[in-house]
């Protein structure tokens, strides 16, 4: 949870201070932190000795808990990206919101 709070705080801070020149490095830093977070989660799960047995015993519910949020996350990113790119193509300034 702390990782997400830090990422959102960095995004809001760069928006509030209008720091366009560091917006790209902040984006790269957020991507790097996200990848590190995913790697740490994978390592933590993979280091559990009975992980495969636990995963197989959870069955369909564990698969649904993985797939459903992933599908909705991808769909939401697609919709938001299409909306923002449409605004940019129409000549509107994205910073006006």
| pLDDT tens digits along 5-64 | 877 787 777 677 766 666 677 778 878 888 888 888 888 877 888 877 777 777 777 778
Domain residue spans of the chain: 1-47, 58-97
pLDDT over threshold 80, residue 79: yes
Task: Name the pLDDT band for 95 (thresholds 50, 70, 90).
Answer: low
pLDDT (0 to 100) of residue 91: 58
Q: CA neighbours within 13 Å on the CB side: how many for 88?
A: 8
Q: Which residues of 43-65 are buried (b: 16+ CB within 10 A; e: fewer)?
A: eeeeeeeeeeeeeeeeeeeeeee
pTM of model > 0.75? no
Angle between helices 23-46 and 2-16 (to 10 degrees): 180
């Amino acid at each position: 949870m702390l990782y997400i709070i830090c990422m959102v705080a960095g995004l809001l801070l760069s928006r509030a201070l209008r720091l366009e020149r560091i917006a790209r490095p902040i984006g790269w830093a957020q991507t790097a932190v996200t990848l590190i977070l995913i790697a740490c989660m994978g390592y933590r799960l993979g280091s559990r000795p009975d992980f495969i047995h636990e995963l197989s015993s959870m069955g369909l519910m564990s698969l649904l808990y993985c797939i459903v949020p992933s599908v909705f996350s991808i769909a939401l990113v697609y919709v938001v990206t299409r909306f923002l790119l449409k605004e940019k193509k129409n000549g509107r300034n994205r910073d006006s919101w």
